Amino acid sequence: MAEKFEPKIVAFLCNWCTYTGADLAGTSRIQYPPNVRIIRLMCSGSVDPTYVLKPLLDGVDGVLVGGCHPGDCHYQSGNYKARRRIIALKEIIKNAGFDEERVWLRWISASEGQRFAETVTKMTEFLREKGPNPMRQKWAV
């Protein structure tokens, strides 16, 4: 690893709030690191546990799940479901000997382009500090 480590982040964003917030960051031309790759889902409540676990096992450095603020879910309560699921998932990740700090759940509304950009910037810096996901090397033959 001669090059500077650049983390890879996969982001699962809900269509109605955080994905739209990320669009607003774009229309407002707010710059943030290119380390994040966004996958659009309809709701944070549809984030299956495997969506978080698979990237981590495959060596992704961080997983960001973005949903609407509590009370603002387009589907009434999907974000609460996401919150419970991520809490449980983090517990499992920790007990399995992985680093649960690589999974972030954040509420970012459609009007919070700035907050989206800040979240990605912070997460990128945090993961740069933390270093690569050890699963990367383990799977490399």
Partner 1 sequence: MDPQPRIGVYICHCGVNIAATVDVKAVAEFAATLPGVTVARDYLYMCSDPGQRLIQEDIKAHNLNRVVVASCSPRMHEPTFRGAGEQAGLNPYLVEMANIREQCAWVHSDRGLATDKAKWLVASVVAKAARLEPLEAREVGVTPEALVIGGGVAGMTAALDIAEAGFPVYLVERSDHLGGRVADLNRIFPTLERVADLLGPLTERVQSHPNITVLLNTEVTQVEGYVGNFEVTVRGVEEPLGVGALVIATGYDVFNPRRKPELGYGQYPNVITSLEMEHRLAAAEESGPEVLAVNGRLPKKVAFIQCVGSRDVQLGHPYCSRVCCMYTAKQSRLVRELLPEAEVTVFYMDVRTFAKGAEEFYDEARKKRVLYRRGMVSEIYRRGERVILAGEDTLLGRPFDFEADLVVLAVGMEPRADAAELSSLLKLPRSSDGFFLEIHPKMRPVDTAVDGVFLAGCCQGPKDIPDTIAQAKAAASSALIPLLRGTVPAESATAVVDVEMCAGCGMCVEVCPYGAADLDALWNVSRINPVLCKGCGACAATCPSKAIRLQHFTPDQVLAQVDALLG
Summarize as ranges the residues that interact with partner 1 (CB under 8 A). 8, 10, 15-16, 19-20, 22-23, 25-27, 29-32, 34, 37-43, 45-51, 54-55, 58-60, 68, 71-72, 74-78, 81, 85, 109-111, 114, 117
To the nearest whole angstrom, how small is the minimum distance from the Cβ of residue 26 to partner 1?
3
To the nearest whole angstrom, how small is the minimum distance from the Cβ of residue 11 to partner 1?
9
What tokens appear for 40 in the block?
């659009």
Between residues 22 and 127, which has the closer beta carbon with respect to partner 1?
A: 22
Between residues 71 and 131, which has the closer beta carbon with respect to partner 1?
A: 71
To the nearest whole angstrom, how small is the minimum distance from the Cβ of residue 99 to partner 1?
18
> Rounded distance, CA 113 to CA 97, Å?
34
Chain centroid to CA 94: how far? 17
To the nearest whole angstrom, how small is the minimum distance from the Cβ of residue 89 to partner 1?
11
